[in-house]
């Protein structure tokens, strides 16, 4: 069993990440921390194989935490969960043991893909027969395939619907989202329902004066 420490300052996002990890066979959440200090204390109490690490913490950057852990002799691997796209930060993270980056926002399928590939890489043992075998082992870790969307959904449209939902703090209806994006209400609803299934949105009925209530969708957490 691969033991994971979830480090995320947003309580809602931390809970979602914990649920995601626990849904992947072979992984279990050993602890959850909402700050650099909490993470350091958790690592003193419980054995951890992998950190699911947010880089923006209230008491310091995630890479500062990682540098201090390496100096103290901690060898746990790290998957960075962040919106940071600075390649200098990525390079520094790789040098400190960050094995994967998952950009926010993401779905359960995306994180599951990274975790499964990490588990395959971790399970590799023995001596490589040659360069090809080394390349294959690294390829499992470094070249994940894009997570598959349900049939009929496209990545660009999902990104557009996600942006529209995240930019509406009070939420949207499928009709409103469709109108703003130039797609039908039915199409918008399919994408919004996919976000609900993925745990990135919630829906609730919105009652008007006449007719049946219309479903109202809201982004569950504003991940940075």
134 compared with 197, residue with greater pLDDT: 197
pLDDT score for 222: 44
Least confident stretch, 78-82, 131-135, 181-185: 131-135
Q: Which residue has the tokens 């890489």?
A: 121
Instruction: Give the DSSP H or E segment for 125.
Output: none
Rounded to the nearest 10°, the torsion over CA 102, 35, 168, 217 is 80
Q: Which residue has the tokens 């590939």?
A: 117
What would the pLDDT profile of 89-127 be if each residue is shown by its tens digit?
777 777 787 888 888 778 888 888 889 888 887 876 556
Q: What pLDDT band is residue 84 in, cutting at 50, 70 and 90?
A: low
Answer whether residue 81 shows pLDDT above 90: no
CA gap 171, 166 in Å, rounded: 8
Token readout for 112 is 């599951």
53 touches 61 (CB < 8 A): no
4 touches 51 (CB < 8 A): yes
pTM for this model (two decimals) = 0.61
pLDDT score for 146: 54
Question: 66-75 long-range CB contacts below 8 Å, 24 or more apart?
Answer: 66/93, 66/96, 66/97, 66/98, 67/96, 68/40, 69/40, 69/43, 70/96, 70/97, 74/43
The residues near 110 (Cβ < 8 Å, ≥ 6 apart) are 102, 147
Nearest to 111 by CA among 200, 214, 172, 39: 200
Q: Angle formed by the axes of helices 11-22 and 108-123, to 10°?
A: 50
Token readout for 75 is 């060898």
What would the pLDDT profile of 203-213 be if each residue is shown by its tens digit?
988 776 566 67
How far CA 197 is from CA of 6, 75, 129, 203, in Å, comes to 22, 35, 43, 10
pLDDT score for 47: 93
| Residue 208 CB neighbour total at 10 angstroms | 8
CA gap 102, 58 in Å, rounded: 20
Q: What pLDDT band is residue 181 in, cutting at 50, 70 and 90?
A: very high
Q: What percent of the chain has pLDDT over 70?
A: 84
Give bridge partners of residue 6 from the DSSP assignment: 32, 52
pLDDT score for 106: 80
């Amino acid at each position: 069993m691969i033991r994971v420490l979830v480090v995320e300052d947003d309580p809602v996002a931390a809970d979602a990440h914990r649920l995601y990890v626990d849904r992947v066979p072979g992984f279990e959440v050993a602890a959850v921390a909402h700050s650099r200090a909490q993470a350091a204390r958790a690592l003193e109490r419980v054995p951890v194989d992998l950190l699911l690490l947010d880089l923006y913490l209230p008491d310091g950057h995630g890479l500062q935490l990682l540098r201090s852990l390496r100096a103290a002799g901690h060898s746990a691997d790290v998957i960075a969960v962040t919106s940071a796209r600075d390649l200098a930060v990525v390079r520094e993270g790789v040098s400190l043991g960050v094995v994967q980056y998952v950009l926010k926002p993401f779905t359960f399928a995306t994180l599951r893909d990274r975790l499964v590939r990490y588990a395959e890489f971790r399970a590799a043992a023995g001596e490589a027969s040659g360069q090809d075998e080394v390349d294959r082992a690294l390829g499992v870790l470094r070249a994940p395939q894009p997570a598959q969307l349900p049939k009929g959904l496209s990545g660009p449209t999902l990104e557009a619907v996600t942006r529209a939902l995240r930019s509406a703090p009070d939420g949207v209806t499928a009709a409103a989202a469709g109108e703003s994006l130039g797609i039908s209400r039915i199409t918008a609803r399919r994408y919004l329902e996919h976000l609900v299934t993925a745990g990135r949105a919630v829906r609730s009925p919105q009652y008007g004066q006449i007719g049946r209530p219309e479903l109202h969708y809201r982004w569950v957490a504003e991940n940075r």
